[in-house]
Each structure stands twice: as structure tokens, then as C-alpha cells.
Structure 1
């Protein structure tokens, strides 16, 4: 039983031999693919329209508190089994935060985290740093853009302006944003750019910018002490504590030395938190691939040889 999140299309863009969802299905796993709210395949709502501001009034905190537990419950209800969780990038952040908050650890068998994101203070992607340091999220929010859709005129105009900054090469967007990928071929890039990146809320972008600038993983900061008190009962947003992830919960973490988003130094901070909380080699498997960057783990043609075979072994171990 395997549950993959959070943007389903991510796992299906390669060939059946090179896409993890197909690889797992071919090895006998019952694969459930989830989509984050607001992405192409997950835009419906019981009462709100996707054109309204209220529809987009959420950050990734809401995915932690509501969406991930609900999806896990949905899978368990229909299968009567605990699923494994597999995530990449933002999907790892949501899983780690949910596990640290005690939301899903008793409902899952394990979590596989590819390019795990918890800290962002060592991020080296030039465009990502510029977006965070120029408060792009707040800027877009001030302009009244609640949906961060990379293809919308409002967002493309802002990004085009940022692309003229020194050190930014938007003609090679993939490398400039994710790092020098090891086995991501040109045909794969063409397919990826047809579907990615998907829309999200501007509030989520602001939250990521806050995480980079603060160097601490906290819940969304409303900036106003009064509003923070209203939401959290304190003037500063509470921090997510990775060391609180249950010691006996099995984790597989795979990260790359060339990753400009999930920088190895930030992953090392996460690993230090987990070990400080008592995690050891008994239930925590760590894989470091010096030549891999951010997208190699899901779109790289060699991921099946370097990563997926170890993922399958890990899942079988704790199945």
C-alpha cells in the first residue's frame, strides 16, 4: 500500500520504467496518487469558486493540519490498511510537519522523503533567493493576487522583471532554480515544463519566503502580534519541531549534493534534529547522492537505478 503526494502529475510524467508511481505499481504496491488543493486536478470546492480570494486563503500549514490527514484517512477507509507515504520537495515538508505535530504517524507505515525540505536558510538557487529577499510573495499579495499561478500575466510580469537582475539566467530556468541536474534529459525537461510548476496560493509562497528569511521552520507568520495571538495564542508563530517525530517511525531520506533548493547543509540540519530526537539507523535510512539535484529524484532517467530500487527495498522492509 503506497500513498504518493502532493502533486499527482509529478509522478507520472516519465516513462513507466522511469516514473516511481509505475515502478511501485509494477512491484505489487497499491498506489494512490494525491493532488494538492489548487493544482490543475484539485480545484473544486463545496462552496467557493477558484476565482475568489477566500478560495486561496491558505498556506501549507493548512495542508499539514487538514489535507494530508484527510487524504490518509481516505486511503485507509477504502483499503483497511495503513499506507506508506512518498513525497518530494514540498510533499516532504508537509509530511515532516504533520509527523512532528502528531497528525499522521499512527496512520502510516513509513515515509519516503526525496529532496527533503525543512530548512531553507542555505538555499542557493539564485531565483529562489531573489524571490524571498525581495518579498515577492508579499508584493504579489499586496497587488491583490491570491492565486500564485506561474502562467498568469501578473506573476509572469513580476518574474520577468526579476530575470533582469544580475546573476539570474531565466533562459535556463530549470538549472537556475533547482541546481545542475545529473540525469534530466532535454526531452524530460520539455514534458515537465508542460505541466509544472502548478498553481498554489500566494500565502504559501509568502510562507516559504518567511522560512528562508527567518532560518526557522515555523507556522505562517501573520506579522501582526495581535493576529498571531488570535491564531496561535502567542505573538510569534510556533515552530515545527522535527525532533518530535516519533522515534520508531520508519523514515527514508534521499538527497543530492547539487540540489540548490534542498541544500545538503539544510538537510543536515534536519538529520541532526531527527537524531537529536532519538532516530537511528534502525528505522531511519539516509541516502546521499553527490551528483543529484532537485529534479533528478522524480524526473531523472537514472533515478530508477540510484533511488527507486532502494525505495522499494525500504518499503518492503516495513510493509
Structure 2
């Protein structure tokens, strides 16, 4: 026997979650599932959080709010699901999740805590995006997720295709410009790309709020940085999770979200500590009772190419397009190096929120972003917050959302 990191390995919400099990070398996820199913007596004795079985729409409705699901087609044929908490009182806002996450992340914290609910209580028409390849956006007009061509995208395509499709759809449906775009982590990355590459779409957005922006990432403190140089060698990942797709949601993850910590005698605190190891330690802000619900939704799937693109950013220290290698770069970009995204061209007013204890979006990298953006509304430091506290922190409503709402009323 030897220790192997398996299951939903790290990295949900910009590279963030893992559980380590001591299992046989030749065991596979299917074998693990069969073992868990065979242990019926133990499973039947375990109680689990019913909310861990609900999808985004069901969680919204259970909290007492109306909920809608809309399907949007991108210019390159992907079918994306937008979730909505409708209102006619104020203009629309769009919330965009990070890597390996989904729309669920904005409502997991529950009523009075989740940002989507807080915005709805203020009267905003709340839209929750889902980028291509995640649990709610695994469809294309002609390609199947089993086709490797489906997964030929990174956060660049999210910026040039997904966000323009979402924003155009929302503004057409509501007949209003987008009041505010709120992104967390990779949800900010894709916005900056969109604003650079499609300024005509950016003009439909009155304001943008960046929570823990993942733009420059080469100063991250997380152990993730040490794996970046190996990410292009995806043999281990593909052995467990399939070629071109990284950490899709699965039956195994459903079992682990409901029974994992208990059936393997792993305390919730230990499960959470692995998250802290990736994102930064902040036990005071983490609500351990949410863990089964979080693990039911995250990781929500991503393309391996997105992981490679982030690894390139870590190694280069730049915010630029995908590096295909010198030969292919010459064919694609007419240069040996990929072009940088021109952040200085962005005119949308932007507010930045960052945490002192964020091991993924470091203060150094966030300040570099700040100095390159020409139209900053606010640059707000949140003491002790780690990368995920901006969406699940116990005091996020008081320490982040209160100021966020004030900025939105400027």
C-alpha cells in the first residue's frame, strides 16, 4: 500500500480542494465506488446534509426565491446555462465563478450569507454564469464532451466567447445595460480578456468588481505553483479523469460529498485543512457545516488546457494568450511569443477586493494589476481573508459585501 492523492484532488475555485486516502496502487475511481457501495451497512448508518443533493435552482427555491434557467449559445457553438433570481426593481448584475466552480458557489452559503441572495434582497436582477465545460454547460451544437475538440479551450475562449454571449443575452432580455459584473478568481480573468478583446461588449457593463483576481499569478504562495512546471505532462490526471477534461463532477464525488469524511474516518477539519493548504489558512472564516454542500458542487469540471494556460502564467509572470510553442506561435500570432493582454485599454470602472492571506492571488500580483488598470474605483484589502472567504467566509457579508453594495450605488 502507498499514499496516493485521489478523488477530487485540489483545485476547486482556482485550484482548491483535496482529500488524501491510503489505497492500493492499482485502485481506480470505479473500484473505490464499488467498495463504497458494497459497504451498505456503514452507509445506511451515516446521515448527510440534504442540501448536498440540490442543484443551483433547487437551492435558490429552497431559500424562498424565484429561480430561472436560461440557455445561451456562444459564437463558437457552446451552450451555456445562466441561472437567474429575477427582479424588475433594479438593473441586472452578473456573477461569474472561478475555475472548477459553478453558479452554485454564490448560493451555497445560504440566505443572508450568499452574495446572490444579498443582491436579490437589494432588488437587483441577479444572473449567475456558468462557463463552458462545467456541470451546467456541458453541451455544444455539434460536439460531444467525449470529443477532444470540445475541450480545446482555456480562459481565453471564455473571455472572447462566453462572457460576450452572456452579457449580450442579459442586456437583450432585460433591455438594460449590465449594472455590475462581479467575478471571483478566474471569473475576473475572463472579464479582463473580454474587456480587452471586445471593448464593444465591455461598454455594456457599467461597473466591474474583482474578488481575489487571478490575473498575474507568479507570486502565489500556494503549493500549486510547484506543480505548474509539470502540468503540461497530464498523464496522471488523464489516467484518473479522462483525456482533455479535468475533474468533472461524478458519482464518486457525490458519494464523497455525502459520506467521504465519515466513511474514511476523516474529520471535517482535516478535509478543510487541505483546502487551507491550497488557498491560505483562515479557520475562523470557514463554515465546516457547508463542506458536504461544497464538495457536492466543486469541482465542477474544466479543460486540461485551462490548467496548462494558468501554469504558463505562473511560469512567465505575464498575462497573455496561450503559448503554443515558438513554431505554432509564429503561425497563430506571427510572433514567437504570445501577445500580452493590454490591460491599459480597459475603460470599465473597476473595484478590486483582495485578501491578506490569499495564497493564490497574492498582494504583489494584485497590486501589479492595480497599477496597470486606468479606471479604478476602489482597492480594498480584507485582513486575514483567504481565496475562498470572498464567497463562503462567515463574515463576508460584513467585511466584503457591505462595501461592495456601497460601491454599486456610486
- Which residue in 2 is equivalent to 1:74? 169
Whether the 8 Å contact between 1:101 and 1:244 is mirrored in structure 2 is no
Q: Does 1:149 align with 2:247?
A: yes
Shift of 1:170: 7.9
Pairs within 5 Å for 1:183-262: 183-223=285-325, 225-246=326-347, 249-262=348-361
Take 2:372 and 2:292, find their aligned partners in 1: how far apart are those partners?
38
- Which residue in 2 is equivalent to 1:156? none
- Which residue in 1 is equivalent to 2:210? 113
Take 1:148 and 1:142, find their aligned partners in 2: how far apart are those partners?
8
Whether the 8 Å contact between 1:102 and 1:245 is mirrored in structure 2 is no
> TM-score with structure 2 length normalisation?
0.67
Of 110-119 and 171-180, the range deviating more from structure 2: 171-180
Pairs within 5 Å for 1:1-319: 1-6=92-97, 7-83=102-178, 84-103=180-199, 104-126=201-223, 128-133=224-229, 135-140=230-235, 145-149=243-247, 172-181=273-282, 182-223=284-325, 225-246=326-347, 249-274=348-373, 278-279=374-375, 283-317=376-410
Take 2:127 and 2:234, find their aligned partners in 1: how far apart are those partners?
37
Take 2:330 and 2:167, find their aligned partners in 1: how far apart are those partners?
30
Mind listing any 5+ residue stretches in structure 1 that lack a counterpart?
154-168
SS of structure 1 residue aligned to 2:233: helix
Q: CA offsets per residue over residues 39-59 of structure 1, 9 Å max, x none?
A: 111111111111110110111
Of 177-186 and 9-18, the range deviating more from structure 2: 177-186
Take 2:364 and 2:238, find their aligned partners in 1: how far apart are those partners?
33
Q: How large is the RMSD of aligned CA atoms in angstroms? A: 2.0
Shift of 1:101: 2.8
Whether the 8 Å contact between 1:261 and 1:294 is mirrored in structure 2 is yes
Whether the 8 Å contact between 1:92 and 1:113 is mirrored in structure 2 is yes
Take 2:227 and 2:243, find their aligned partners in 1: how far apart are those partners?
15
Q: CA offsets per residue over residues 141-164 of structure 1, 9 Å max, x none?
A: 8877200116689xxxxxxxxxxx
Whether the 8 Å contact between 2:249 and 2:298 is mirrored in structure 1 is no
SS of structure 1 residue aligned to 2:181: strand
Of 263-272 and 283-292, the range deviating more from structure 2: 283-292
Q: How many residues get paired?
A: 291
CA 1:245 to 1:57, structure 2 compared with 1: closer, same or farther past 3 Å? same
Whether the 8 Å contact between 1:85 and 1:108 is mirrored in structure 2 is yes
Mind listing any 5+ residue stretches in structure 2 that lack a counterpart?
1-91, 252-269
CA 1:152 to 1:25, structure 2 compared with 1: closer, same or farther past 3 Å? closer
Q: Which has the higher contact order (CA 8 A, sep 6+)?
A: 1
